[in-house]
């Protein structure tokens, strides 16, 4: 059984390292997976998603237009990229259509949709360490993500 407090911290030394980590994660995702990214401005959330998109074989360039709340990309699985920076805390944009769909949902500022997230999801907390390094704290909720993070940490 997973203990409630299980968490894993990884330090990444460059944007490319963050992207590579995202790419490996992207290859592991299954239909319906939900990932919540939490962290201050400029801590690397979009950078990680660019890697995830690569891992999911998305051809388009992934960026963050903060006036678009959800952007869908075609890949080996659909990628639903949410950027909730500008959303009001209680606003419901119809999350259920995506979060319980067949794609992979990745939410920047995911804490703003906390009431809509399924219990089983992967939370990643980003912290600024220095100009080029960040800490990524993985908090897997549910066996599937616990197993995924264990595999992610097995082989760098
Ligand atoms: N180790 C690192 N990992 C990720 N980004 C890094 C790292 N070191 C430096 N950076 C830089 O930090 C910035 C991170 O920007 P990014 O848009 O990914 O952050 P964000 O968390 O999505 O920001 P926002 O909250 O504005 O959406 C980029 O300019 C990137 O090059
Ligand atoms: Mg961003």
Residue 148's φ and ψ, nearest 5 degrees, are: -65, -45
Does 36 contact ligand 1 (Cβ within 6 A)? no
CB–CB of 77/102 below 8 Å?
Answer: yes
User: Given strand 79-83, what is the order of strands in its sheet?
Assistant: 8-12, 134-141, 121-128, 34-39, 104-108, 79-83, 70-73
Does 45 contact ligand 1 (Cβ within 6 A)? yes
Q: Give pLDDT tens digits for 18-77.
A: 999 999 999 999 999 999 999 999 999 999 999 999 999 999 999 877 678 899 999 999
Looking at residue 113, the DSSP 8-state letter turns out to be G
Residue 2: pLDDT over 70: no
- Exposure string over 78-105, b if 16+ CB within 10 A, otherwise e: bbbbbbbeebeeeeeeebeebbeeebbb
The structure's pTM equals 0.95
Does 127 contact ligand 1 (Cβ within 6 A)? no
Residue 30, class by beta-carbon neighbours within 10 Å (0-12 exposed, 13-18 middle, 19+ buried)?
A: exposed
The residue to mutate among 13, 21, 47, having the most atoms of ligand 1 within 8 angstroms of its beta carbon, is 47
Residue 1: pLDDT over 50: no
Which H/E stretch holds residue 48?
Answer: helix 45-55
Distance 68 CA to ligand 2 centre (A): 12
Domains along the chain with CATH numbers: 8-154 (3.40.50.300)
Distance 130 CA to ligand 1 centre (A): 11
Residue 108: pLDDT over 50: yes
**The predicted structure's pLDDT at residue 60:** 95
Rounded to an integer, the average pLDDT of 120-127 is 97
Q: Which of 139, 142, 135, 148 is nearest to 39 (CA)?
A: 135
Q: What percent of the chain has pLDDT over 70?
A: 94
Residue nearest to atom 30 of ligand 1 (CA): 15
């Amino acid at each position: 059984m997973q203990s409630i407090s299980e968490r894993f911290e990884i330090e990444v030394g460059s944007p490319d390292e963050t992207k590579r980590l995202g790419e490996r994660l992207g290859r592991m995702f299954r239909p319906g997976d939900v990932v919540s990214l939490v962290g201050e401005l400029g801590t690397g959330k979009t950078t990680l998603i660019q890697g995830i998109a690569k891992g999911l074989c998305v051809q388009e360039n992934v960026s963050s237009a903060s006036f678009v709340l959800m952007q869908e990309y075609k890949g080996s699985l659909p990628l639903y990229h949410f950027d909730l920076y500008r959303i009001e805390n209680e606003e419901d944009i119809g999350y259920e259509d995506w979060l319980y769909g067949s794609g992979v949902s990745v939410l920047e500022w995911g804490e703003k949709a906390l009431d809509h997230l399924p219990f089983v999801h992967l939370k990643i907390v980003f912290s600024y360490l220095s100009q080029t390094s960040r800490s990524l704290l993985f908090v897997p909720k549910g066996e599937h993500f616990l197993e995924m993070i264990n595999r992610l940490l097995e082989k760098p």
